[in-house]
Amino acid sequence: MDQTELSAIIGKARGDGSDTLDLSQEELESLPASIGDLVNLVELDLSGNRLTKLPPEIGNLTRLARLNVRNNQLMELPPEIGNLVELTGLFVQENQLSSLPSQIGNLTRLRRLNSSNNQLTRLPPELGNLTSLAWLFLPDNSLVELPPEIGSLAALTEIFLQGNQIDSLPPEIGSLTGLKELHLDRNELAGVTPEIGHLSSLTVLYLRENHISALPPEIAGLSSLNWLYVGGNRLTELPPEIGSLTDLTGLYAEDNQLTGLPTQICNLTRLVWLYLEGNKLTGMPAGIHRLTNLIQLNLRSNLLSELSPEVCGLVRLVFLDLAGNRLTSLPQEMGALTALNELHLNDNQLRSLPLEIGDLTELIDLFVSNNRLTRIPETMGNMTGLERLFLSDNLLTSVPPELDDMVSREIVLLSGNPLSD
């Protein structure tokens, strides 16, 4: 759209007293000063253009409630943005902003602010004036810290800060007692401030891919937490206080350096998803069978040399991953896991499978490749629902006739075995 066409559209909108104007995806490189004449506008969409700046006259649009300038090439926002005191939604993501103007603190009715995918290195202290802000979306910037004034944002319910360079959290974050979601994946956090324990309304906490070596005992205060993501850190243990998070349904602590689990984890009886792959676990705590609602358990790539029969008490399990451990055998109690659809046993040192494995008649996928099996039990013929059976790279010389139907249906992978003709 050229400037003549744009001026005509602005002129018509002014004459009509329009309250909405959509100029998105028009390849605009600049806006004329006349945009400031549209004083009745409530919503302005300028997304998906090539704008490098906004004219100061944008500050005349004092009735504007929603401004969308996402996906442009803006280097800065004009200070006149602070005149838009009726704004409830400001969307400036996917630009080239290195800072937000201090005047943003005038937007006291703002409820949603999205400045993701920019180049922000700091937030102005005046951000703390946005006492109506409920949703703050700042992923994929270059933020190294949060201002202490963030603790004044009492209306906040969701903060998204993943993909920044934040190395610590200010204690004032503990003042955000209405916060429900806190996203801090992919930062530089070495630890978690104890004040986080004051966030009693928090339901979701993402801390993946940081440098955290320990979680504070104050985590026990997160009494509403449903989901905890701490994978990809440097944790060597989980604090016993984790057992206080009795509303937890998902715990993801993969790719850490955990050598054991506290027995208090067995208090998390509402847990449905437990992901612990890529650690250094040698066993599971006594009482693990109490996690009776668990449907997915991932213990891949640990140091397990045996599987506790208590794990076989988790009779609601649908998914169990034990691949990449040091297992040489499985307990006969394995047959109790009759709800399993998917079982990973590959890359262990298994020499045999218990007869009771044939009781797992709901299995769809069974992975037992790269072990030391010399035979497989004929009871596996009972697994009539199997769609994939991976037995490659073992020491099998024959397959029992009970599996002939599976072999004929080509659902059994047997390559890398010394099978006789």
Task: Characterize 155-167 residue by residue with b for buried, 16 or more Cβ atoms within 10 angstroms of its Cβ, and e for exposed.
Answer: ebbebbbbbbebe
Phi, psi of 125 (to 5 degrees): -55, -30
Q: How far apart are CA 322 and CA 325, in angstroms?
A: 7
Return left, alpha or beta for 107; rule: phi > 0 is left, psi -120 to 50 is alpha, else beta. beta
pLDDT at 234 over 70: yes
* Distances from the Cα of 70 to the Cα of 89, 95, 103, 160, angstroms: 12, 7, 19, 17
> What is the average per-residue pLDDT within 160-184?
97
pLDDT at 44 over 80: yes
Domain chopping of the chain, boundaries: 1-132
In words, the CATH class of domain 1-132 is alpha beta
> What is the average per-residue pLDDT within 178-192?
97
Helix (H) or strand (E) segment spanning residue 11: helix 3-16
The pLDDT assigned to 421 comes to 65
Task: Characterize 251-269 residue by residue with b for buried, 16 or more Cβ atoms within 10 angstroms of its Cβ, and e for exposed.
Answer: bbbbbbebeebeebbbbbe
The pLDDT assigned to 373 comes to 97
Range from 14-23, 238-247, 299-308 carrying the lowest mean pLDDT: 14-23
